[in-house]
Structure 1
């Protein structure tokens, strides 16, 4: 141990200075490795009195032995120095002896550190003063200055005095407006109103210590730049504390217009009030007011939009000549989501429309009114006096989304390498696995395991090395037990885990006896259908890979929706017969459930060919195709407790000859809103369910009811639970009561993303003419009455559907869903959101020209007051009466 290291360990800083002064530059550099090692040792050790004494000595030794400014900056700003103040009085004179250029570089190196670095501002200030250079203004230096000014006092008077004494006050205050995160640093846990920093800055500005124009420009510039809510609130408060005059407001009118358009709501409200004052005093040109109005009316905040329309009304009343500029701008509120804003804009046009003189202004107003409801558009036309011929055209058919056409699966992977690459890509991806990619890759694994197992294993080596089972299951478990993740009780048997099971079987990490035992238990699923058939199919594949690899899978679908063409399945059975391959029971069962039976001509042709094969499987396929598969499957909607909707299915005898896991699909079932604690609780699993029974989506919807409906009451139950609904709606099979009930529940779940998925399903069903509006309305009415679906969430969902152009579809649903709710004596809590639902209904009725009477509407419309519920009930009644 050198003398220097010994002095450092003993904490003798005077000895360190003496030893260093007697060393050459080369000797100092030679000590650096030992000093750095000691620094690491100290950083990792517990803080003791000995370490506290040694730390200043180590800091001093390191600074003396470093020669470059960058190295000194890193050493000086490192974290964890103890009792740094002890070393400061020693190393500051030593640093000040360095050349000015070197000190300038050191100051910049220190200032360029991250803002979170513990920079001692007074040290930086001393270095800058010694270098006689400008103070570097960076994020780190500004944050260090803020901490230094704060010190241990949050008193406004103390902070103001410290600011006055700061030698670099002007550049550092300018840095407050440019450095990142200074709003948070200035916030310091105070409410903005009594923040000592902000009050001190305002005081120094008022007394002239700080330049007022610079402060005002800095605040406005920081607000225009945007940033976090904390930043915006702090600098907005500082701007308020500066108390701008009317002349200063007018001089920054452009900045206020930009803030009114894009800033956070509190800042935008302030900007709007400033501009309103300028407009009312004649200091804001009319064209600037119109431009600012167009921007404000695109904002979602109702208070901003309504206040802006009120301002326009006041200005237009004072000076009728402004109508040509202001009314076209006000017309942009006609399509705002706030119906009250729409009505105010319409009344504004009606009140001042006679003062319009410019044809271009009239044209812009008519263009803005084009998307709105026919009745409202007629009022606009009448207000403009352009004649009835300009009125709205008759309501047309709904605009519904195009139904995606099924896509044929691509050819199987052409090589073992391609199969391995696609397997690795699927396992490394996140989220939902597309059925087509998943099934094609699975078939590729089976094919190449049969054709060239060695080549496939070699190609899979990089992927297998990253999988958990390659580390935890290096060999089959000695008692033939199932690895825990593959165990039947595992509740997350996702498609990726299914691929892992296949790969584990391929690599012989489970035994044939284990796989056979699970299969004999029906796939041993955890009680959730159709999770059982899904599991059983993969356990059979793993078992076959261990015992008798298949040439390919019979059940691979022809299309991405899960359908399998009957002629293609017949060809596969013929190939199996030629190769003498054994047909897997679960594989064949899945193939039968996927085979298309609705194309009777193709089914009869394939049945004749299958019967000629002379095999048991060929005859079963022929019989299945001739009888139409799962024919006679009927589901019934009923109610329990006189109000709760449920869907029941009877026993499906056509599944009696299927393996146990598939046979359970045919057992009697009940779909209700009661919570289901089953294995498959994720969208990753459920999105593969429709492809299991593509011609019978009702059997899938029946099992989804108990997943979807609870999510209207328990938001964390099944995230993304409704992502399966659009796939279910696209299934080629017919929909029925189960689909209606599960979509009804989806429209009212708590997560917005799930509600949007349910809206997509609703629109897809309507586009295929598979939607039963009456059944959906009945389910929605019942679910609202028992509190599972709330009117507010349903209003948002159906409003979204209507905004896509499906006004007629939404109206036919609401027409029958509203009466049970309107006729009930609802408490204030139960009626919350009903006004929004009536808003959607009124909008749809106006756009479609619907007429008639809604039971229960008149008593609400006849109430006193102008609440949203009452006003929208009157609006709906007027629309249905054609007035």
Structure 2
């Protein structure tokens, strides 16, 4: 009988035998075997996926040939797909399915496609649905899950033995392209998928970059896609808004498309909607586009005035500054409309940032001195940069269990540092308020709804959400915390006793994001066994900073109520304190008597965390043989930075204790060797061989954002490899939100950002530049690194830095821009890299505003050359201005 032969061949893994059997069987015999095959599938016990005796692949082929109903066949195939990772049977589906006809195959394929989960689907399930649809010549359903699986399969590495072909070629030949590509513009959930970076196997020496902006322009050049439709879809997607991570690929695609003035003007209404309400990167794009229209005389003044009011109250200082500069230039062109201009600019007089208010006031008094009582007239010294940078305050605490559940749901979709802080604080305070049962009832369903997020993995450091899952389970049953419990507790014990996170068996990463994971694990461990009324480390500002007065009040409450903060919670609180604390607060802290209070007092008395030293590290290509690398003859491939602790004896190699301690529970008052969390945070050792670039840990943005808000150079050292590789705009923004000294790591990070390939990354670098200028930071080292990396080493493109530095100059940081240029030019003039004439032209524009005088090494020699090249002309112009 057919079913008996199928069972025998499937059990033996003989797929060719099954194909031959089914091809030769009559339709009546095949359909007669359907019920037996269904019973065999439903009753079979799963065997190891890779087992040669796994019957699932053969049974899948039999289902396609023998089961009459499409719905039943789809159910059985989904079951079998989950039992195997063997893809060899997929190649035989077309042959087996010929007897069923295109409509039946399309029906089954569509049903399977619609069953795919939106997130974390298995490639095997997607491949099965896709093979059936392609065999039928049918269009796939346009769903988030199917589109995500489609692009993930295309981005997978090309199998060994196959000819490497570029992604553009493979996409252009794919029958699903016209149907599925629009989904990435229309479905919000696919925004981050559009930004997945890849290394194109068909393009030599290509860096990893988001696939959508890298490939779509190529398909447009080939005529495979329609430019007007793609540009329209891109602008529409940007206009719909969303999270910055979901819009990044479309911002880059817009830049890659380079819309003409006519194309932009035809969509002026779309850009005017983006500027007031879009995320910062989208608003900056709209601002640049509209300004280009205005420069060309293609933007009505009424449109500019209408859109400027909402922009001038936005929190992003760089956007508001650029808008004020733009309005100032327009005011000079339209003296007859100055009253309207002043009325519009006056909106910024109420901006929360003092620098913005001063700029608006300067602009108003420059054009209408009589509009402001007591104004002394226009500012003739040029704009300056604010002396103080203040981050926005944290959102209010979570007030109820329903709000907590909503914040947890948001975290499971997109993690944010502020979101984690609010969830942790909410868990602790609501538990202390007696809402344990209510929290358990509302949060436990998340464990089933998002199984992948809470999956326990024994061979890697756990995801933060795994520890959140432990906390949720313990709310329902403190005695059943789940499989991650023992490893989590052991990792906390080791971190508390030795200061070490990470290692082959640790559940905590050794990178800074391991601190957030440790705090989540601490909540999971202590929430029910050692409850406290509140967390001490919850920041007061979105950059992670914690007001000392707030921490004092929390510890005073702890003393009054007789409880002690948890260890890592208190240590994180201390690491978040600002560098300067009011004397009255210091005096009040000295009166605390609890162990936590004495630790706080000692921390302030000793000056907090001493700044580690960041040291420049040159990485040279050398493969796996470092002894063969000769620094004298091997060129530098990349420059990163090490961190060396300032505290005596504080190092963090594997297995070496960072401080003495007893348990991972309450805080210890000892200050002799720093905090448990401290040593690993301030120790970074990079490999001098860049073959390990992909193995250099830095931690993720969420975990980095709030660990050390007042030690910018520490964060810069950790994230430098990423910034050096791709520009790292979001990570540059993290540095802009921090405060603290700028050492070698910050200087390198800023140079990589100013010379990044993509404009949004360079814009983020300008924000960091302005933040450093506002802090009064000396930027000569930045110029030195720009000169070294862009000159003799040739590691960055100097030409890319010119517009970014020009933006910083226009924003008021002329003196700091001159510091950079004056330090860079001596290195660049002898080698004359591409873009040097533009840099000299910028220096000539900046020098008068900065009051620069004197000599720049090497400038006189270039200016004295014979000829009339632009390089020589700009060198002469700059030299004359400096005399």
TM-score by length of 2: 0.49
TM-score by length of 1: 0.49
Higher helix share: 1
